[in-house]
Amino acid sequence: MAVVGIGPGGGKSLSIEAKQILLNSEVIIGYKTYIQLIEDLITEQQVISSSMKQELDRCQEALKLAKEGKQVAIVSSGDPGVYGMAGVVLELNEDPDLPVEIVPGTTAATGAASSLGAPLMHDFTVISLSDLLTPWQQIIKKLKAVASTDFVVVLYNPKSSQRREQIEIAREIFLEYRSPQTPVGLVSNNYRQGEKTVITTLEEFTNCDIDMSTTVVIGNDQSYVKFEKMITPRGYQL
């Protein structure tokens, strides 16, 4: 079986490898929004879609069908190894002889970065602000460590309808170490219909629209904006 990353938005953001594997699958399993992103690749394959928060069920079903001999692909948006399904499938698999292939894709960090310009040209960090599976105090400790050492920081899952405070706390932590004018980029619905890109500042960014489809990129001390693009220099003498 394969755990397949479909890039930020399916379609042209898919890798050639991912496309080939999906076309050759007998069963494709995934969250219904992800299935919609690859629906032009679906012809004869059986599709099993489900709602969010049924991740474990999807993985168990995929493993069961694979053990029965089916060619199964379970899809994740972005890269399946970054807060996706790759880890859960490997953790749940109890058969050492069942081959599980992880097929990488463009993850939200680099997809969003490409829409903003080139904010990730220097050392960077990826942090999820969701405290569903991680204690909030651990997340705060990580935010402080990277805010104080000039990493560019990409925040996944910045905010949801139930969870609105974390992004404000993250902003306050960064303001302790960085200028209020530090560039911050926001990308919502990357590579999907209604993609929206905003380049603003550390001081202002939480006044902008942010939801679960938004990726937040906080620049380092060197980041700047030029011709409406966000750039973190790498240090070449230009």
Which residue lies nearer to its own copies by CB, 19 or 196? Answer: 19
92 binds its own copies (CB under 8 A): yes
Query: Which positions from 174 through 213 interact with its own copies, judged by CB under 8 A?
Result: none
23 binds its own copies (CB under 8 A): no
Q: How far is the CB of 103 from its own copies (least distance, A)?
A: 7
Q: How far is the CB of 131 from its own copies (least distance, A)?
A: 10
Helix, strand, or coil (residue 187) = strand
Give CA–CA dist 230/190, Å, rounded. Answer: 16
Among 14, 37, 202, 210, binds its own copies (CB under 8 A): 14
42 binds its own copies (CB under 8 A): no
Among 25, 77, 110, 214, binds its own copies (CB under 8 A): 110
Q: For residue 44, what are the contacts with CB-CB under 8 A and spacing of at least 6?
A: none
84 binds its own copies (CB under 8 A): yes
Which residue lies nearer to its own copies by CB, 52 or 133? Answer: 133
Query: Which positions from 44 through 83 interact with its own copies, judged by CB under 8 A?
Result: 55-56, 79-83
What is the layout of strands, in order, in the sheet containing 117-118?
A: 117-118, 229-231, 224-226
Query: Which positions from 111 through 170 interact with its own copies, judged by CB under 8 A?
Result: 111, 113-115, 117-128, 133-134, 138-139, 141-142, 145-146, 148-151
Helix, strand, or coil (residue 33) = helix
91 binds its own copies (CB under 8 A): yes
38 binds its own copies (CB under 8 A): no
Q: How many residues line the site for its own copies (CB under 8 A)?
A: 74
**Residue found by looking up tokens 């139930």 in the block:** 162
90 binds its own copies (CB under 8 A): yes
Round to the nearest angstrom and report the end-to-end CA distance of the chain: 48
Among 35, 63, 66, 107, binds its own copies (CB under 8 A): 107
134-143 contacts: CB < 8 A, separation 24 or more?
136/166, 139/166, 140/169, 140/173, 143/170, 143/173, 143/174
Burial class (CB in 10 A: 0-12, 13-18, 19+), 178: buried
Among 28, 63, 75, 86, binds its own copies (CB under 8 A): 86
